[in-house]
């Protein structure tokens, strides 16, 4: 009989109100099914069932207050105990009765996992095996042992608690690694100084996507007459429809709130110990947080990055005055700037430029080099550049910014000196890894860009210490951080795995959006690779036409001899959702022959993939005659 206790869900929460039962006595339940929802003064959460079985007894009714440690429900999991006789249909049981049947070690807690009592002595051996993941699993003898020789020095510190694994940073790298570690039986702690979910969930990917959705809806409203709505409205009336920024921001905040609470809860429900505070390396295998000294067998540094601020005259003053913002502060602006200057036309710059342009700002982008989105395929650069300019975004290339004033930016382009007025300036000129907490760690190698240097397994120069995500400076993308986290945990539990960066997809959420995987056409040219390149415009797609969104293309790059897929590049609606198909094919070393034979549903944008591959094959056949 499994006596399910209300677990400590952290944040200083000791009790909650049982909102709704999702099961009744006699119901068959499986591990992971929702048992009930609970509301505390901080969160509302669904509580999952940790075992398979039959509901024997519900000890509380909806609306009751339950306390940490209370046995809320008894589940017959087939482990015996004659008290197991299913309780009568009565819902409520007096608390005394509940406590009377409690055994000292009998209760489980939410999402209980078995935690190893012994710290694992070395790689492999008795350590639990991780499930296979999409990352590349490497045979033991393929792995370089070079790092195994590097030791971790520093003062010996007496610690109050020891963990198999401590993770510093609860972004998409850290929290995914923590969950995976706990599920694999490691006694795990995660330390976060600011917000669970990291930059991505709180002030990065997710809030920007929520705002971009509002901007997209607004764009569609403006074009509603094309689709047969509001025909009675005059142009001025449609133009008079303005975004309500407060509501747009509230929606964004709700999305973020839901996700970040979910992350904190995920940690606790997997029995990952969470610490909120600034972590600091204090000695050999030791970390301090809020005055607590914690020892680790393995450490994952997942501290992420922050926006880079460059030495421009007046930038720091402008930043203090709120005139200049990084993407983090821009996500809390209280109004839509009438005139916005974006410094840097990289990924963050173009996404924010599109967002505020769509919401009605007059946007000027200042880019120090002669192109935008430098690392992308040239056709993507050109298509997006033309699209932005056509919409009225002013892009000034080869701009040399000399000064930021109270309400303007001064720059030169060649001999021409320009001064542009603005309400706000967004600075998006790259990101800097957060390494400060580990600067005292002996032998930790730091690279030229301030990143923690790692090998293919995210192993740092210090034994037992790994670095994942933005802090290792490899690919500053949330999904790469998560993949690295899973790989490192797999390696720690004896299943040596390295992240497969070659088939990593990248997405940019502009209007229109863009996505890429693999090599670019210019890379193929520069490296004299024998390839075939095939491109299909979106306007031939029935789905794109039906949607009225025909801007963009699909480009496929394949090896000329074998047809093996080497790269794929998209601009156009839904492209961020369909790029994964190409990544998976590249992972499997698939060819354009395979892809062209894969039946794609009609009508979808994804049909462009098989269509493009079919035409690539005609070219291949001709070339290989
Ligand atoms: P970035 O490196 O992508 O772009 C920075 C741009 O600023 C470059 O084009 C550079 O030429 C320009 N720049 C540098 N100094 C300048 C100056 N003095 N004046 C004018 N322009 C200057 O950096 P960004 O956009 O800040 O993004 C940072 C990281 O975040 C990237 O690694 C990116 O991959 C990641 N990210 C990814 C997203 C996605 O995948 N959708 C979304 C947001 C960020």
Question: How confident is the model over 155-212, as pLDDT tens digits?
Answer: 889 999 999 999 999 999 999 999 999 999 999 999 999 999 999 999 999 999 999 9
Residue 42's pLDDT is 61
Residue 615's pLDDT is 97
Q: How far lies 486's CA from each of 21, 481, 503, in Å?
A: 34, 9, 16
Q: Does ligand 1 lie within 6 Å of residue 337's CB atom?
A: no
Q: Does ligand 1 lie within 6 Å of residue 349's CB atom?
A: yes
Residue 92 has pLDDT above 50, yes or no: no
Residue 8's pLDDT is 62
The percent of the chain in helix, strand and coil, each rounded to the nearest 5, is 30, 25, 45
Residue 582's pLDDT is 98
Q: Does ligand 1 lie within 6 Å of residue 353's CB atom?
A: no
Instruction: Using the mean position of ligand 1's atoms as its centre, give its distance from the Cα of residue 258 in Å.
Output: 28
Q: Does ligand 1 lie within 6 Å of residue 374's CB atom?
A: yes
Residue 87's pLDDT is 34
Instruction: Using the mean position of ligand 1's atoms as its centre, give its distance from the Cα of residue 514 in Å.
Output: 15
Q: Within 13 Å, how many C-alpha atoms sit on residue 296's CB side?
A: 31
Residue 80's pLDDT is 73
Residue 195's pLDDT is 92
For residues 210 and 171, give the distance between their C-alpha atoms in angstroms, rounded to a whole number.
18
Residue 510 has pLDDT above 80, yes or no: yes
Task: List the residue whose alpha carbon is closest to atom 43 of ligand 1.
Answer: 348
Task: List the residue whose alpha carbon is closest to atom 32 of ligand 1.
Answer: 476
Instruction: Using the mean position of ligand 1's atoms as its centre, give its distance from the Cα of residue 428 in Å.
Output: 6
| Bond before 603 cis per omega within 30 degrees | yes
Residue 116's pLDDT is 28
**164 closest CA partner among 494, 496, 495, 492:** 492
Please identify, by atom number, the ligand 1 atom nearest to the C-alpha of residue 310. Answer: 18
Residue 2 has pLDDT above 70, yes or no: yes
Task: List the residue whose alpha carbon is closest to atom 38 of ligand 1.
Answer: 347
For residues 18 and 44, give the distance between their C-alpha atoms in angstroms, rounded to a whole number.
10
Please identify, by atom number, the ligand 1 atom nearest to the C-alpha of residue 400. Answer: 19
| Mean pLDDT on 579-592 | 97
Helix (H, G, I), strand (E, B) or coil at 610: helix
At residue 594 the predicted structure's pLDDT band, cuts being 50, 70 and 90, is very high
With helix as H, strand as E and coil as C, how does 129-141 read? CCCCCCCEECCHH
At residue 13 the predicted structure's pLDDT band, cuts being 50, 70 and 90, is low
Helix (H, G, I), strand (E, B) or coil at 32: coil
Q: Are 552 and 537 in contact (CB under 8 A)?
A: yes
- Name the pTM for this structure: 0.79
What digits encode the pLDDT tens for the residues 124-145? 222 233 333 446 655 444 444 4
Q: Does ligand 1 lie within 6 Å of residue 508's CB atom?
A: yes
Instruction: Using the mean position of ligand 1's atoms as its centre, give its distance from the Cα of residue 327 in Å.
Output: 11
Mutate to test the pocket of ligand 1, among 429, 476, 516 (most ligand atoms within 8 A of CB): 429
What digits encode the pLDDT tens for the residues 289-343? 999 999 999 999 999 999 999 999 999 999 999 999 999 999 999 999 999 999 9
Q: Does ligand 1 lie within 6 Å of residue 445's CB atom?
A: no
Task: List the residue whose alpha carbon is closest to atom 3 of ligand 1.
Answer: 346
| Mean pLDDT on 576-595 | 97
What digits encode the pLDDT tens for the residues 523-564? 999 999 999 999 999 999 999 999 999 999 999 999 999 999
Residue 529's pLDDT is 97
Q: Which residues contact 311 (CB under 8 A, 6 or more apart)?
A: none
Q: Does ligand 1 lie within 6 Å of residue 428's CB atom?
A: yes
Mutate to test the pocket of ligand 1, among 210, 327, 344, 474 (most ligand atoms within 8 A of CB): 344
Q: Are 264 and 11 in contact (CB under 8 A)?
A: yes
Residue 107 has pLDDT above 90, yes or no: no
Q: Which residue has the higher pLDDT, 415 or 101?
A: 415
Q: Are 24 and 58 in contact (CB under 8 A)?
A: yes
Average confidence score pLDDT of the chain: 88
* Helix ranges restricted to H, 433-520: 478-492
Instruction: Using the mean position of ligand 1's atoms as its centre, give its distance from the Cα of residue 369 in Å.
Output: 12
Residue 32's pLDDT is 75
Of all residues in the chain, what percent carry a pLDDT higher than 70? Answer: 87
Q: Does ligand 1 lie within 6 Å of residue 315's CB atom?
A: no
At residue 52 the predicted structure's pLDDT band, cuts being 50, 70 and 90, is confident
Instruction: Using the mean position of ligand 1's atoms as its centre, give its distance from the Cα of residue 515 in Å.
Output: 16
What digits encode the pLDDT tens for the residues 242-293? 999 999 999 999 999 999 989 988 998 999 999 999 999 999 999 999 999 9
| Mean pLDDT on 68-83 | 80
At residue 82 the predicted structure's pLDDT band, cuts being 50, 70 and 90, is very low
Long-range contacts of 219-225 (CB under 8 A, 24+ apart): 219/358, 219/511, 223/548
Residues annotated as catalytic are: 602
Residue 528's pLDDT is 97
- Helix axis angle for 575-587 and 607-623, nearest 10°, is 50
**513 closest CA partner among 215, 195, 264, 193:** 215
Residue 16's pLDDT is 86
Residue 624's pLDDT is 86
| Bond before 504 cis per omega within 30 degrees | no
For residues 586 and 288, give the distance between their C-alpha atoms in angstroms, rounded to a whole number.
43
Please identify, by atom number, the ligand 1 atom nearest to the C-alpha of residue 374. Answer: 9
Q: What phi and psi values does residue 526 have, to the nearest 5 degrees?
A: -60, -35
At residue 7 the predicted structure's pLDDT band, cuts being 50, 70 and 90, is confident
């Amino acid at each position: 009989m499994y006596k399910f206790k209300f677990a400590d869900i952290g944040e200083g929460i000791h009790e909650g109100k049982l909102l709704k039962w999702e099961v009744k006595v006699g119901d068959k339940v499986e591990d992971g099914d929702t048992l009930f929802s609970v509301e505390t003064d901080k969160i509302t959460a669904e509580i999952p069932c940790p075992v398979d079985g039959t509901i024997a007894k519900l000890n509380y009714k909806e609306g009751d207050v339950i306390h940490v440690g209370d046995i809320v429900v008894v589940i017959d999991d087939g482990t015996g105990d004659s008290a197991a006789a299913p309780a009568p249909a009565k819902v409520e049981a007096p608390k005394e009765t509940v406590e009377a049947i409690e055994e000292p070690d009998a209760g489980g807690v939410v999402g209980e996992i078995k935690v190893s009592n012994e710290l694992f002595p070395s790689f492999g051996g008795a350590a639990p095996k991780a499930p296979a993941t999409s990352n590349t699993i490497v045979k033991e003898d393929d792995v370089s042992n070079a790092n195994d020789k590097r030791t971790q020095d520093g003062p010996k510190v007496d610690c109050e608690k020891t963990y198999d694994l401590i993770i510093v940073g609860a972004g998409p790298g850290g929290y995914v690694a923590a969950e995976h570690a706990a599920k694999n039986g490691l006694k795990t702690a995660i330390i976060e100084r600011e917000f669970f979910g990291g930059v991505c969930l709180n002030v990065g990917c997710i809030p920007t996507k929520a705002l971009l959705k509002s901007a997209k809806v607004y764009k569609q409203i403006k074009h509603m007459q094309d689709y047969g709505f509001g025909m009675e409205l005059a142009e001025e009336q449609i133009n008079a429809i303005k975004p309500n920024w407060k509501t747009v921001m509230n929606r964004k905040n709700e999305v973020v709130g839901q996700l970040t609470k979910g992350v904190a809860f995920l940690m606790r429900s997997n029995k990952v110990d969470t610490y909120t505070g600034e972590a600091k390396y204090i000695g050999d295998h030791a970390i301090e947080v809020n005055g607590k000294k914690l020892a680790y067998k393995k450490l994952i540094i997942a501290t992420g990055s922050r926006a880079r601020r460059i030495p421009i005259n007046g930038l720091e003053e402008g930043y203090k005055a709120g005139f200049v913002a990084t993407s983090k502060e821009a996500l809390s602006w209280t109004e839509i700037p009438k005139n916005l200057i974006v410094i840097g036309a990289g990924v963050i710059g173009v996404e924010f430029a599109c967002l505020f342009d769509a919401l009605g700002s007059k946007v000027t982008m200042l880019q120090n080099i002669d192109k935008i989105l430098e690392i992308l395929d040239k056709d993507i650069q050109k298509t997006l550049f033309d699209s932005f300019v056509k919409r009225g975004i002013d892009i000034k290339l080869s701009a040399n910014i000399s000064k930021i004033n109270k309400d303007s930016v001064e720059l030169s382009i060649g001999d021409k000196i320009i001064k542009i007025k603005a309400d706000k300036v967004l600075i998006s000129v790259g990101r800097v890894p957060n390494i400060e907490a580990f600067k005292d760690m002996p032998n930790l190698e730091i690279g030229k860009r301030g990143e923690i240097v790692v090998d293919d397994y995210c192993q740092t120069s210090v034994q037992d210490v790994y670095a994942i995500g933005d802090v290792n400076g490899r690919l500053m993308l949330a999904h790469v951080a998560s993949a690295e986290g899973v790989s490192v945990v797999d390696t720690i539990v004896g299943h040596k795995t390295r992240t497969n960066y070659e088939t990593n997809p990248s997405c940019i959420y502009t209007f229109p959006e863009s996505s890429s995987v693999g090599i670019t056409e210019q890379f193929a040219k520069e490296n004299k690779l024998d390839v075939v390149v095939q491109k299909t415009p979106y306007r031939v797609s029935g789905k794109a036409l039906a949607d009225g969104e025909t801007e963009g293309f699909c480009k496929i790059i394949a090896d000329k001899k074998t047809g093996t897929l080497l790269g794929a590049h998209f601009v156009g609606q839904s492209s961020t959702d369909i790029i994964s198909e190409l990544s998976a094919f590249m992972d499997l070393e698939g060819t354009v022959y395979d892809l062209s034979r894969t039946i794609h549903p009609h009508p979808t944008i994804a049909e462009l993939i098989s269509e493009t591959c079919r035409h690539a094959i005609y070219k291949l056949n001709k070339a290989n005659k």
